[in-house]
Structure 1
Amino acid sequence: MEHVWDRIETWLRANAPECLASLRPGATDEQIAEAEAYLEVSFPEDVRASYRIHDGQESDGPGLLDAEEFLSLGRIRSEWAVWKGLPDGGDFDGIRSDLDEGVRDDWWNPRWIPLTYNGSGDHRCLDLDPAPGREAGQVIEMWHDEPSRPRVAGSFRSWLEGFTNDLEAGRYILSEEYGGLVERDEEE
């Protein structure tokens, strides 16, 4: 993960220093373990390694991933708690999402750990409870008012590497209109 983050930081330094400045210092192993205990999960090692380098970003900075905030461990906990309270109160009883290959048809699952936040209740999530035949740790999209839960990447590492490759290929720009890094075709 160090090599991936070195590449991201190099690109940000040259193209989006505001995003680079918003990245938080790495979390300690103790902070990671506390988050895992709160969420009642164990993160895959690639997630732990990434959070040791950067504990997400400051919430008032420009969105790093498709203009979405890359959540710190504290922000993960707070976003997860909001979602956890909804099914605990019966809000999703009888509601299912559209089935996507490898993703359960839950509307929300407590083992879907928010990684990003767009300010409107939508997330990219670490899926630690995939459908049978998939390994825990894939990344999915979860929109609060849409039933689709598409699989974005097979692992956290592949998701972050794909983003890094897209940065280096010139597919992203910093957009004031959208409040962070967006794909070029969204801005043009």
Structure 2
Amino acid sequence: MTGPGVDVDTRVAEAWARIEAGLSSVLPASLRLLNAPAPAPAIDVVEAALGVALPPDFRASLRVHNGTDPGLTLPSPEPSPVPLTNLCDTDQLVEMTRVWRDNHHPDPDWDDPQVWAYLVDTKMLCLNGPVRPIVGSPGAVVVGDMNGDVWWLLDFDPAPGGTPGQVVRVDVECVSWDVLAPSWTQLLVRYAEDLTRFAADPGTSPLEIDHHVGPACEWGSTPSDFWGTRPAWLRDVQPRSPHT
């Protein structure tokens, strides 16, 4: 049951139930890595520590599964239930967001839409969607990662046309930024649908799943044809080289 009359908790619980059903079909061992619910006070501590109000649907999600637990060894002996090493629990949300924010080094010569337009044009940066490519942006909360190279963020300072709280995938090594979904609920639904498609016919799903490791982190990555193509919000911006 979905729609405007259904509350946030119900929509999130339904999305997680669909994900768990999909995982039961294609990666049943991964279900053991889904954590138990987080207590509401622990979520309140996250908000206080980071100085943000988490989106209601993300809070609801933590009350279903407080992230994932890959165990003490990497790679994990069980396949991941998500296309990451792990989703953050409440402690990791604070720890990893602080690590992310420590990498913020504002530079007006680079933190400029004109420069971003130039970098996209010259294929030095890939942007898919309304996201500002600022590493360490204080307007983001880290919600998961893949070995410290690929990050999932809740983006509270989107580019024009974006939605505060949108979910962004950042591949630091490949210099690509991809808006995965406008909200956490929509991300969960997207993932549930792709798991269902994989269970029915792997060739029709954008997921690539290794039954020993889990879904590949490239799920939701920027397709190669986005390289050199500006997102709509940068389309009319005059490019400027940061080197001149």
TM-score, normalised relative to structure 2: 0.66
Are the structure 2 counterparts of residues 95 and 121 from structure 1 closer, same or farther at C-alpha, using a change threshold of 3 Å? farther
Q: Are 2:71 and 1:36 equivalent residues in the alignment?
A: no
Contact 1:65 1:181 survives alignment (8 Å): yes
Aligned residues: 180
Output the CA distance in 2 between the equivalents of 1:145 and 1:109.
Answer: 17
Partner of 2:20: 9
Separation (CA, whole Å) in 2 of partners of 1:141 and 1:67 = 11
Within a 5 Å distance, the mapping from 1:1-188 to structure 2 comes to 1-60=12-71, 61=76, 62-87=79-104, 90=105, 93=107, 94-96=109-111, 98=125, 100-170=128-198, 171=205, 172=207, 174-176=209-211, 179-182=213-216
The one-character-per-residue Cα deviations of 1:136-168 (angstroms, maximum 9, x if unpaired) are 111111122343322111111111100000001
Q: Distance in 2 between matches of 1:101 and 1:12?
A: 28
Of all paired residues, the percent bearing the same amino acid is 26
Q: Which of the two has higher C-alpha Rg?
A: 2
Tell me the SS of whatever aligns to 1:126.
strand
Task: Give 5+ residue unaligned stretches, structure 1.
Answer: none
What SS does structure 1 have at the residue aligned with 2:154? strand
CA contact 2:23–2:31 (8 Å) conserved in 1: yes
Q: 1:63, CA displacement in angstroms?
A: 2.5
Distance 1:140 1:154 in 2: 9
1:181 & 1:95 partners in 2: Cα distance? Answer: 34
C-alpha distance in structure 2 between counterparts of 1:107 and 1:45, whole Å: 25
CA drift at 1:67: 4.1
Question: Is the 2:131–2:158 Cα contact (8 Å) retained in structure 1?
Answer: yes
Kindly indicate whether structure 1 or structure 2 has the higher relative contact order, using CA contacts under 8 Å at least 6 residues apart. 2
Moved over 6 A (4+): none
What amino acid does structure 2 have at the position aligned with 1:169?
R
- Alpha-carbon offset, residue 124 of structure 1: 1.4
Output one character per residue of 1:97-145: Cα deviation in whole Å (capped at 9) or x when no partner: 6555421232331222122210133211111111234321111111223
Equivalent-residue separation in structure 2 for 1:109 and 1:125 (angstroms)? 10
Distance 1:35 1:50 in 2: 14
CA distance in 1, matches of 2:140, 2:173: 16
